[in-house]
Amino acid sequence: MDFTADEYAARDADRLREILSGPPVTWVFLGDSITQGVTHTHGHRGYVEHFAERVRGELGRRGDAVVNSGVSGATTEDLLPEFHWRAGRFAPDVVFVMFGTNDMLAGEDGVRGFRYRLDQIVQRSRDVGATVVLQTPPAVLEDGGRGPGLVALYAEAVREVGRDLGVLVVDHAAAWEAAASESGDGVAPGGWLDDTFHPGARGHHELTLTLLSALGIADADSPVCSLQVDDAVRASA
């Protein structure tokens, strides 16, 4: 049976609530180097690791499996032929999808294809029985083929897919933009990025807080959410 976008959104919200109060499940994270969490956290946890600690540790869901299938340098185009290996074979209950930072190297002309491929990723995830959560990419500085203007275009494409297909969107791009505006910084608050486009340890913690809030499982008093990450944990430190 086909569902409308609104029906999918309502169903997925119900399923996420049921998942968080039910038996053990498998969470799969798809993405690029930001999701993989390599190098730029300098030995600190990435956002997927923080998520696992919050869910499996603090919420007591010890039987849950959290699978990080992020691959450095990956794009949505890379993922599609590898979907089974990186997601389907795990029989995921929830699939998180964060792409765009590398896809944007295709420029403005690449947005349409990016949007189509995101649609395909959502459909394939649903075909294996998973609830999907889309995530917009965080801010980047101007750096050759990447820049704030392109982040805005690709983040909006993620939001459009979310609206059209009834998928929850965790909007990191909007959260980082709001934080930068509040702090008086141009694109991202100081210390959140390790270079021009990779979040550092502080940036990964901020990604975690936005994700947990969107899922309704943030708690300001929890060790994960209240963690103070030194902005100086960067490549120059």
Is residue 233 one of the residues assigned to a domain? no
Any domain includes 59: yes
| Domain assignment present for 44 | yes
Q: Report if residue 204 sits inside a domain.
A: yes
Cα distance from N-terminal residue to C-terminal residue, the chain? 55
* pLDDT confidence of residue 235: 44
Question: What is the Cβ-side half-sphere exposure of residue 164, based on CA atoms within 13 angstroms?
Answer: 13
Residue 108 in any domain: the answer is yes
CATH of the domain at 189: 3.40.50.1110
pTM: 0.93
Number of domains in the chain: 1
Q: What percentage of the chain reaches a pLDDT higher than 70?
A: 97
| Beta strand extents in the chain (DSSP E only) | 26-31, 65-68, 94-98, 131-135, 168-170
Q: Looking at this protein, which amino acid is placed at residue 200?
A: G
Q: Is residue 230 part of a domain?
A: no
How many angstroms separate the CA atoms of 48 and 44, rounded? 12
Q: Tell me whether residue 111 is in a domain.
A: yes
The answer, yes or no, to whether residue 29 has pLDDT greater than 50, is yes
- Region of poorest pLDDT, from 78-92, 151-165, 185-199: 185-199
Tell me, yes or no, whether 228 lies in a domain.
Answer: no
In this prediction, residues 174-195 reach a mean pLDDT of 90
Q: Where in the sequence is the domain holding 147, given as residue range(s)?
A: 5-217
